[in-house]
Structure 1
């Protein structure tokens, strides 16, 4: 059970601008491994993450998914602002084929959102939004979790609980962690790729990948997002 990129070509189109991101890219992300994909900001890591989850399709080539792959962790794009937190969770469970009752119970217990679970998502404050978005993905038993920079979110006790939950999931599932931070990937990942010259390339070590990309082009974050803003984007903490 894997996610496999086979000769993937992808160009992003915005109005009159076209940006080629991948050309004949190959990679294999397995459920049993914690795979890191290092890339400079703007080099295509979010595009690669969206291709892995199926949010984007290749222009040419294929992305084969023989595993149950998550939506990107803490992705605001999967939540409908007019639906309540409970309704959003129920919808996600139906999409992925799970009974919503135990998953909603897990999220309620884990986040301690209480009555906020039944108000429209667009009315959530930042703390409530962050808790729901991080917990909802990890509450569903995916074979492979896709992370685009933000692996752990929230503040204080919730952040610690979130970190413990991630480590628990790593014992039973695979991760594909797309990041610009060598320190984050060094901390968690056993398999490594990097994005360079429109391709996905296997690396023997983080040091090798960082040297090819250039240390000056990378960040030094820990994959921690204190909060998620109104657009659903994470405010990543990148200590130097």
Structure 2
């Protein structure tokens, strides 16, 4: 489960504090894939990062014993001067993978990403879409309790999007996902429950369709 205890998150602006969470206490049950919905600027991506332990509240606590992926498609932690292959090796070493697992990771990410010759070129030569494909592939290779997904299913051409969705659905059979997306069909297919974020407060819905209905109103 994921516990929010008096969690407050805000950003200072020229007109005062912009609250993402305003003294929120709530427990999100385990073994549920979660959709995060809200209007533009509500702080959905910030909430995603906080639930995954990548960002932190200004006050209060968010805690969980679960293992979270980095946000799929996010490549800010990669080394731009290194190739795709070298970045895969680097991440494998961080996660303590042995040489056999490293070889498997390289083969998997190379095949999944479809980068071709660019897999052995520095990331600084990549487009943002190519970086997202590399990141997505690495996220799928490693095992996590929760996959963090922020609109990444919109990356690439239709063939790649379909492949990414199929692989993700396979992964979710043995883990869960927390998803920020404006693609309602994806949320309905992947998620069990929903969170609607509005003005620093969250509404939790046991049925993801109810969360979608609330958002669309």
Q: Give your verdict on TM over 0.5.
A: yes
Relative to structure 1, the CA distance from residue 104 to residue 13 in structure 2 (aligned partners, 3 Å threshold; closer, same or farther) is farther
1:45 aligns with 2:44: yes
In structure 1, distance between residues paired with 2:111 and 2:203: 41
Runs of 4+ in 1 over 6 A off after TM superposition: none
Instruction: Decide which moves more: 161-170 or 200-209.
Output: 200-209
User: Cα offset for 1:169?
Assistant: 0.5
Secondary structure of 2:79's counterpart equals coil
Change (3 A) 1:213 1:51: same
Q: 1:162–1:212: structure 2 CA closer, same or farther, 3 Å change rule?
A: closer
Inter-partner Cα distance in structure 2 for 1:157 and 1:3 = 34
For residues 41-82 of structure 1, give each alpha carbon's deviation from its aligned partner in whole angstroms, at most 9, with x where no partner exists: 111101101112222111111121312100111013222212
Distance 1:17 1:144 in 2: 34
Other-structure match for 1:164: 166
C-alpha displacement of 1:37: 1.8
Structure 1 residue 29, shift from structure 2 partner: 5.6
Query: Is 1:195 the counterpart of 2:194 in the alignment?
Result: no
Q: What 5-or-longer segments of structure 1 have no aligned partner?
A: 216-240
**Partner in structure 2 of residue 89 of structure 1:** 88
Q: Secondary structure of 1:77's partner? A: coil
Give 3-state SS (helix, strand or coil) of 2:56's partner: coil
1:18-97 pair list within 5 angstroms: 18-25=17-24, 26-28=26-28, 30=30, 32-97=31-96
**For residues 63 and 101 of structure 1, do their structure 2 counterparts lie closer, same or farther at Cα, with a shift above 3 Å needed?**
farther
C-alpha contact (below 8 Å) 2:7/2:59 kept by paired residues: yes
Note the 1:1-240 alignment, pairs <5 A.
Answer: 2-13=1-12, 18-25=17-24, 26-28=26-28, 30=30, 32-99=31-98, 100-125=102-127, 128-151=130-153, 153-215=155-217
What is the root-mean-square deviation of aligned Cα atoms in Å?
2.5
